[in-house]
Structure 1
Amino acid sequence: MVPFCRALALSVAFTSALARERVDTHIHALPPPYIEALEAAGGDPSGFPTPQWTLEATLRSMDLANTQVAILSLSTPGIPIAGTGEAARSLTRTMNEYFGNATSLPKHTARLGFFGVLPDWRDVNGTLAELDYLYSEQKLCNGVTAYTTYGDRLLGDPLFAPVWDRLQRYKALVFVHPGTLTVAPKFIASSLAQPIVDYPLATTRTAVDLVMTQTMRRCPDVDVILSHAGGAVPFLAGRAIGGLALPEIADAVGYNALGAAKDFARFYYDIALSTSAAQLHGLLDFADASHILFGSDFPYVPQAAISTLLAQYATFVTTDARGPLVSPARLRENSLKLLNRHALGKAF
């Protein structure tokens, strides 16, 4: 209890001096039309409870965390819950209009942005059309959200090549969030929902896929944010890179270790639910500190848990020799530089 109390005291002292220092790139919104579609489809198939959400609650959470800017996104299962037809396309547009209107209000414009919503990528034409709407017509988003898988396809699947070509044309920022997936065998403990273990591993698999399919190499102007410190990427990417030292694997993949290492170095990482010393050291061992961003994962992470994670993070920043590398000021600088590089109009 004493270490936690000390950490909490550090957090309070540390954050109270920041005056809305943070920029949160992993914070979700659940607008009413989306909740209606989710309930009509039988709820979240991941097994994780869907939290209550309002825009006012988001702003309160931001104030409590000393967050100045938040980039809202639609969490999993997202639009794929509505299928790949016209109903899903209509829901996508409704969400983007909601986000565009909410973040354009004078009282919100300096504090809120959003990652545009896309259909299930298996609806390739619908996805391309929505990208054109977001970037050529609406021109308000700060990037787009993509899920780690669509059906049984990872993001580097050849079916999705036209989507990546369009993202490259628009020099887009892509926030990759774990998506609902089919996993077998399932955990015997039925309460162990997919976000607990499966989601970080899903992020790991699609990140490796994006490198090994050379999707990252073909899209030099697209930046990609990986959720939750990249899952196990900091710990397992070395195995993927090292595997390419074997001629048989390198020939089969059509890539070499040097190219893969350069592509892995391009990813950005938020620290939502990833504030322990082990996680932060692992991330710093693998990624450049300039590619680390802050994320709260509100409202899927309740406010009490956010406060605990902030206390843990503050302890690392204030007591660890590498803490200054991930200080709130550094993460803020990283986020603003990335967001403003991809700004369509409004910059923070």
Structure 2
Amino acid sequence: MTVKGKTYQKWDVHHHVVPDFYVNELKNLGIADVSKIKWPQWSPEYSVKMMEMFHIEKAFLSISSPGIFFKDGAYSQKLSRRCNEYIAQMAQDYPGKFGGFASTTLPDVSAALKELEYALDTLKLDGVGLMSNVDGKYLGDKAYREFYAELDRRGAIIYLHPNGRARQEDHRLLNPLYLWQNDTTRTVIDFIKSGYHRDYPHIRWIFSHGGGILPPLYKTLIRSLQGEHSHIEAELARWKSQLFLDTASKAFDEQIPQLLNFSDERHVVFGSDLGWANKMAVATLVKSYSALDSKSGLSEAQIEDIFIGNARRLFGPDMVAVEQTERPVVISSQSRPARAVGNVEYHYHCVPQKVIDTVQAIDPSFDFAGVSAWDERQTLEWMRQNGYDKVMVSLDLPQVWQLGGYDLVRILRVYNEEVAKVRQKDAQQLGAFGAVDVQQPLYALSEIDYCLNELKLDGICLSIDISATPFEKLLDERIMAKLSTLHVPVLIHPVDSTGIPLLNENYLDAIYFVAKAFYLGAYKKYFSQSQLILTHTGGVLPYLAQPLNILFYLTVKHPMSGGSRYLWDSMVMHDPKGYNILMNTIVDEEEQTWPDQPIIMKARKEKSSQ
């Protein structure tokens, strides 16, 4: 039985130093802030004060984003050495209170190996801190093999932290609340895809911020990798004994069970993000994990392990075996989980034969591998077998969007007219979303009218690729204004949903669409009365609902007043508006049983082939 109000001692594996010399160096490089977030006022004394406040016995220090690699190898080596010696000196000045993770000069492997040797053998630091990417190079890079071989030989610890990307530096709060988290997961996937998890099994890992979205995305990831690596699930199950997820920023009921269930509670370690995180965030974090007796059925000893015991074992010599016990995801009583609705399947792809013929006439080289023409009888049989009363069909041909211009307009017109015929045959069981090209706004506006007024289709499918768009751009304002007046279902679908999530940056764009719509204020202005249907979400929407709720309030144009409303609605009234929107948004179901040989494009969030 857990003692109510118990204060747990802690080891903090996610604790940042932000020394003045480091800030000044980066300011001299023109880095005046990090994604428009001001540099924090930090000192060693501040860390000690926070440690006393939150009962942290020991903190493992590290440099946060944007890391140490700038200008050239020589400059970066000098900055890396200074940061590492600073951390080592703090450990000496406060005996027993601090450990630390060394910065290295990756992607300069030769210099990184030299710094690794100095940091671990001379400075006696506890491991190596790596950024998720440096100059766009991820941890699966072929050039890193020698670096990992040395870490594997040592059985060393790697502390992994997200880093921003050059073309997204101006994305402000979208970075810490969404994009940076994804970058951690992306680099883990890149590492796995390279086969390094098999080649270097003795490296122990701390994935900061719970590994980003890795826990909820894991099943989707397994399925997307199995085509290339048939034994990947068994390999990753073995690798998990070397993986530890830290708790930083993962304080919500929809998140914590995902961390616990990724392997087990023995592989979750306390991380505060102090140095950058504020006191309220850390207090919320501590409160959430201290309450896991009542919320997730953990014992006092298991909670104590998360706060301190697991880290002690991690920094010890022995491997920690996985002992998994599944726990239900906890959803707050005020909201329903993100879900599909009733007996209607909203995400089901249809490619009429006439569309295939039209595409082939325009481009005879078009690859239709894995695509078969629509067959109504087999679709109705699929509905019967899976208990659906109605299916809403939509288009999914990733290559067709590359044609652009009049060719694409012609194909979409043929598609819309053909699915109108499908719908007319049996409107009670078969509905249809019209397809438009959002990159051609004037055409899209005209085609929306044609689809809804002339063809009598049921809604509009927006095939989007916003992963590489400028920060301030979502969709053409005229298209959003048009949709806001129609009150019809709007299906949000990536242009390309093939391949591996995050390695294919477009895959999760439905979630990015909503995040951006919240933050730019477009959701309140244009979509608040629309029925959005999100596809290819990888099962991560409930996990992200609370962080994205912050973007709903702290919009680009109204960050200050939005902050007050966020605190009032979320903390006082317990009525977080953005969260409730997301938890009641229609998504296609995560787990489905699909025909072995579907005669349509598979209507699922995890698609291994087209």
TM-score band w.r.t. shorter chain: 0.7 to 0.9
Aligned to 2:28: 40
Equivalent AA in structure 1 for residue 143 of structure 2: L
2: distance between equivalents of 1:93 and 1:135? 12
CA distance in 1 between counterparts of 2:29 and 2:294 reads: 46
| Amino acid in structure 1 at the alignment position of 2:304 | P
**1:303 maps to amino acid:** K
In structure 2, the partner of 1:49 is 38
CA distance in 2 between counterparts of 1:242 and 1:261 reads: 14
Q: CA deviation at 1:34?
A: 0.9
Partners of 2:183 and 2:6 in 1: CA distance: 34
After superposition, residues 105-116 of structure 1 pair within 5 angstroms as: 105=93, 108-116=94-102
Could you give the per-residue CA deviations for residues 218-250 of structure 1, whole angstroms, max 9, x where no partner exists? 11221011011111111112122123443xx33
Question: Quick one: which of 6, 9, 12 aligns to 1:14?
Answer: 6
Work out which of the residue numbers 171, 177, 181 in structure 2 matches 1:200.
181
Distance 2:25 2:255 in 1: 35
Q: What is the Cα deviation at residue 256 of structure 1? A: 3.5
3-state SS, counterpart of residue 250 of structure 1:
coil
Cα shift at 1:295: 0.6
Alpha-carbon distance in structure 1 between the residues aligned to 2:245 and 2:301: 14
Q: Are residues 1:283 and 2:271 paired?
A: no
Question: Is 1:87–2:75 an aligned residue pair?
Answer: yes
CA distance in 1, matches of 2:294, 2:109: 47
How far apart, CA to CA, are the structure 2 residues paired with 1:306 and 1:238? 30
- Verify the 8 A CA contact 2:246 2:268 in the aligned structure 1: yes
Q: Which residue of 2 aligns with 1:235?
A: 216
Structure 2 contact 270–306 (Cα < 8 Å) conserved: no
Distance 2:101 2:160 in 1: 10
- Partners in 1 of 2:174 and 2:25 — Cα distance? 21
SS at match of 2:205: strand
Query: Structure 2: how far apart are the matches of 1:311 and 1:264?
Result: 27
Aligned to 2:129: 145
CA distance in 1, matches of 2:234, 2:209: 25
Matches within 5 A, 1:249-268: 249-250=228-229, 256-268=232-244
Distance of 1:174 and 1:278 partners within structure 2: 27
Task: Give 1:65-104 correspondences, 5 Å limit.
Answer: 65-80=54-69, 82-104=70-92
Aligned residue type for 1:250: H
Aligned residue in 1 for 2:141: 157
Aligned AA (1:55): P
Q: Is the 8 A contact 1:226 1:268 kept in 2?
A: yes
Q: Which digits, 9 at most, give the CA deviation of each residue in 1:166-212, with x for residues without a partner?
A: 2122221000000121456x88xx54251121111011111122222
Q: How many residues of Structure 1 are paired with residues of Structure 2 in the alignment?
A: 314
Change in 2 beyond 3 A, CA 1:102/1:256: closer
1:210 aligned onto 2:191: yes
Query: Which residue number in structure 1 is paired with residue 53 of structure 2?
Result: 64
Larger radius of gyration: 2
Residues of 2 paired with 1:323 and 1:213: CA distance?
A: 39
Letter in 2 for 1:118: T
The residue type equivalent to 2:215 in the other structure is P
Q: Which moved more, 1:70-79 or 1:129-138?
A: 129-138
Structure 2 counterpart of 1:209, which letter? D
| Structure 1 CA distance for aligned equivalents of residues 132 and 299 of structure 2 | 30
Q: 1:30 aligns with which of 7, 18, 28?
A: 18
Measure, in 2, the Cα distance between the counterparts of 1:152 and 1:122: 10
Measure the CA separation in 1 of the matches of 2:219 and 2:53.
Answer: 38
Unaligned stretches of 5+ in structure 1? 1-9, 343-348
| Structure 1 residue 318 displacement after superposition | 4.3
Aligned-partner Cα distance in 2 for 1:231–1:326? 23
The aligned counterpart of 2:557 is: none
5+ residue gaps in structure 2? 319-610
Aligned to 1:293: 269
CA distance in structure 2 between the aligned counterparts of 1:51 and 1:341, rounded to whole angstroms: 35
1:323, distance to aligned residue in structure 2 (A): 6.1
Deviation larger for 314-323 or 140-149:
314-323
Aligned letter for 1:83?
K
Report the TM-score when normalising by structure 1. Answer: 0.84
Q: In structure 2, the residue corresponding to 1:306 is in which secondary structure?
A: helix
Q: 1:165 to 1:79 in 2, by over 3 A?
A: same
CA contact 1:116–1:143 (8 Å) conserved in 2:
yes
Equivalent residue letter for 2:288: Q
Q: CA RMSD in A?
A: 2.2
* Distance in 2 between residues matched to 1:279 and 1:159, nearest whole Å: 35
CA contact (8 A) 1:47 1:193 kept: no
Paired residues of 2:163 and 2:183 also in contact (CA < 8 A): yes
Give 1:276 deviation, angstroms: 1.6
